[in-house]
Structure 1
Amino acid sequence: MATEDYYYLNDLIILKKKHHLIKHITDELPTPEIHGTKVWGSSFMIMDYLKKNEPELGADMLEVGAGWGLLSIFCAKHFEANVTATDADPHVFPFLETHSLLNDVEVETVVARYEELKVKDLKGFDYVLGGDICFWDELIEPLYSLVKRSVKAKVGTIIIADPGRPPFLELAKRCAKDFGGELLDGDISKPRKVTGNLLVVKT
């Protein structure tokens, strides 16, 4: 179901850019600086995967590069997950917090870059998730290191999704070799057609 300025998907209320609440944020607050100006499609591929491979209720989940945080909100709503959303850009969090309120869930937010998340920070999480976060060559190494630290911290499942950009595929190749990661196909039709891949590492 969709209207002119919002739509429902996966039992979530998702605002479009033209919605008055989003326009208020963009007009009155600083603009996100690291591609945090919209909802990215790979998050929906992870939602689709989790619907088919349901986590236990109450799992502890960390989303990296969360942006507007729809994936975090989905996990909190569907699986009663305890979710922490991190992003390097604090200016994305008003969008996340607005969607959290609309969807009646709580998500903890933390400003952090990938390389700032140490093993001690990752311990206790059952999942580490990220969509559309490996889009530059210079992101391969910090994300590989994040996966390595997540494995060391005994995070149960790490999932990173992408349309299939070359940096992501290189990351997936390295993680398959070193951590037994799988590269799975992703294909969704809503809210728009998105195809790509999911890197899934289970420890």
Structure 2
Amino acid sequence: MNPPDRHLLTLHGIHAMRASHPAARRLKRQQPGHSAHGNKVWLSSFVLLDYLHDNPPPTAIKAMDLGCGWGFSSAFLAKKFAAEVTAVDLDGSLQRYVELQCQLNQTEVTFKRGRFQQLTARELGQHHTIIGADICFWDSLAEVLYKLIRRALRGGTVQIILADPGRPPFWALVEQVASELEGYHGATVEVLSRRLQSPLKTEKYLLTINR
């Protein structure tokens, strides 16, 4: 597969399909509308992955990508860090996009359809690193993600990173995590702002939780 460069965004050697990518457009025509917002690659993913490029996790870890969408973050983790990645999304139709993204980068991940509420402490804890970008866009998701983070820490997850443009639900999540989970199972909570200049100029916020 060798699509025209104008249909790609490239970050640290890993390619992301634009919505204009011919293969992505074919899939859109073949499938009904997505159930949430997994309809493109969101810029928060690029900021999160740029952070991981500068602060890399150990090689060959197990990682989970929450609300994976088209799977760029999943493919990045698998290709860049040889991670064993589980890509999770509510919308099962996104699996074909994730597979396409992985083919583009000559890597593989495992797709899992499911809700955040269904992920148990044991399942979450099997993953060293859990990431999510642009997944706290409804008020109700702040509490859902808080409980997920708590379960993950209880289960043994070492690192959790969420990226967001700064929506009110995200800040509600940040406040609750910082006030209630600092020190929980040895967790350290930090909030960062981070700018990216290329492939697109943007600034996002990162909630990082490390043990």
**Counterpart residue number, 2:34:** 32
Task: State the TM-score, normalized to the length of structure 2.
Answer: 0.91
User: Which whole-Å deviations, capped at 9, do the CAs of 1:59-108 have from their partners, x for residues lacking one?
Assistant: 11001101011111101111100100000111222111101011111100
- Aligned counterpart in structure 2 of residue 156 of structure 1, from 158, 164, 181: 158
Structure 2: how far apart are the matches of 1:61 and 1:135?
A: 22
Output aligned runs, 1:31-70, within 5 Å: 31-70=33-72
Counterpart of 2:113, as a letter, is V
**Counterpart residue number, 1:82:** 84
> Tell me, which stretches of 5 or more residues in structure 1 are unaligned?
none
After superposing the two structures, state which structure 1 stretch, 60-69 or 173-182, moved more. 173-182
CA displacement at 1:132 relative to structure 2: 0.3
**Counterpart residue number, 1:187:** 195
**Counterpart residue number, 1:128:** 130
> Tell me, which stretches of 5 or more residues in structure 2 are unaligned?
183-188
**Counterpart residue number, 2:206:** 198
Counterpart of 1:194, as a letter, is T
Structure 2: how far apart are the matches of 1:6 and 1:197?
A: 24
Structure 2: how far apart are the matches of 1:190 and 1:94?
A: 27
Aligned residues of 1:163 and 1:194 also touching (Cα < 8 A) = no
CA displacement at 1:164 relative to structure 2: 0.8
After superposing the two structures, state which structure 1 stretch, 28-37 or 108-117, moved more. 28-37
User: Which whole-Å deviations, capped at 9, do the CAs of 1:119-170 have from their partners, x for residues lacking one?
Assistant: 1211221011000000111111100000000110110001111011111011
CA displacement at 1:12 relative to structure 2: 1.6
RMSD: 1.3
Structure 2: how far apart are the matches of 1:197 and 1:114?
A: 21
Aligned residues of 1:84 and 1:109 also touching (Cα < 8 A) = yes
Quote the sequence identity (%): 35
Aligned residues of 1:33 and 1:91 also touching (Cα < 8 A) = no
After superposing the two structures, state which structure 1 stretch, 74-83 or 10-19, moved more. 10-19
Aligned residues of 2:195 and 2:203 also touching (Cα < 8 A) = yes
Task: State the TM-score, normalized to the length of structure 1.
Answer: 0.95
